[in-house]
């Protein structure tokens, strides 16, 4: 894994605030897009999670994720169930991505991390839905979600690779 950049405390705060704002904006933008299939989303906010993971540290990524989900629920509306779904998805997804980057470091490429994150996000969501309706039958919908997770995860991962290379050339 690339060594995290050393930021002064003020810079760190400002950058994290910007990251949170960007994550929220991407999340809000996504809500404007037409829903093609229930539960299928591009997951653009994961771009921010990954960038914070890469250039800062995992603790910051958790802070941005937690605040983003809480604030998105507050600003854009959403019931406790939607909140539970995004939380489960987000926690599982970030845990998997942090773990992969820790274990493999340089030996893993960003699209792979991103795909793993996207797929675990969808798995987490299905688990919450299955818990709420008390039935495992919703697992029948997994193929759709897993496939969309792979596609959107790849897209997000490639985007992050491109942005990371850009940031690297300016550091």
Interaction site with other proteins (CB under 8 A): 35, 37-39, 77, 79, 81-82, 85, 100, 103-104, 106-109, 112-113, 115-116, 119, 129, 132-135, 137-143, 146-147, 150
Distance, in Å, from the CA atom of 168 to the CA atom of 171, rounded to the nearest integer, reads 5
* Cα angle, residue 113 at apex, residues 25 and 122 outer, rounded to 5°: 65
Distance, in Å, from the CA atom of 97 to the CA atom of 145, rounded to the nearest integer, reads 18
| 51 vs 145, beta carbon nearer other proteins | 145
The nearest distance, CB 42 to other proteins, in angstroms, is 17
Residue 5: phi and psi, rounded to 5, are -75, 140
| 14 vs 133, beta carbon nearer other proteins | 133
Helix axes 45-55, 58-76, angle to 10 degrees: 160
| 16 vs 113, beta carbon nearer other proteins | 113
Q: What are the C-alpha distances in Å from 73 to residues 34, 99, 114?
A: 19, 27, 23
The nearest distance, CB 11 to other proteins, in angstroms, is 30
| 20 vs 46, beta carbon nearer other proteins | 46
The nearest distance, CB 9 to other proteins, in angstroms, is 32
The nearest distance, CB 169 to other proteins, in angstroms, is 22
CB 12 within 8 A of CB 56: yes
| 133 vs 165, beta carbon nearer other proteins | 133
CB 89 within 8 A of CB 125: yes
The nearest distance, CB 116 to other proteins, in angstroms, is 5
């Amino acid at each position: 894994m690339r060594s995290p950049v050393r930021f002064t405390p003020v810079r760190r705060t400002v950058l994290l605030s910007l990251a949170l704002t960007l994550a929220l904006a991407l999340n809000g933008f996504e809500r404007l897009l037409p829903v093609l299939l229930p539960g299928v989303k591009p997951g653009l906010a994961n771009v921010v999670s990954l960038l914070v993971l890469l250039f800062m540290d995992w603790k910051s990524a958790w802070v941005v994720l937690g605040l983003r989900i809480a604030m998105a629920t507050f600003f854009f509306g959403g019931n406790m169930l939607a909140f539970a779904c995004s939380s489960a998805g987000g926690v599982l997804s970030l845990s998997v991505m942090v773990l992969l980057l820790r274990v493999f470091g340089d030996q893993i490429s960003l699209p792979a991390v991103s795909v793993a994150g996207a797929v675990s996000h969808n798995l987490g969501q299905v688990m919450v839905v299955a818990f709420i309706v008390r039935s495992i039958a919703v697992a029948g919908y997994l193929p759709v979600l897993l496939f969309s997770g792979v596609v959107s995860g790849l897209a997000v991962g490639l985007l992050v690779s491109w942005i990371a290379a850009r940031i690297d050339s300016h550091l």
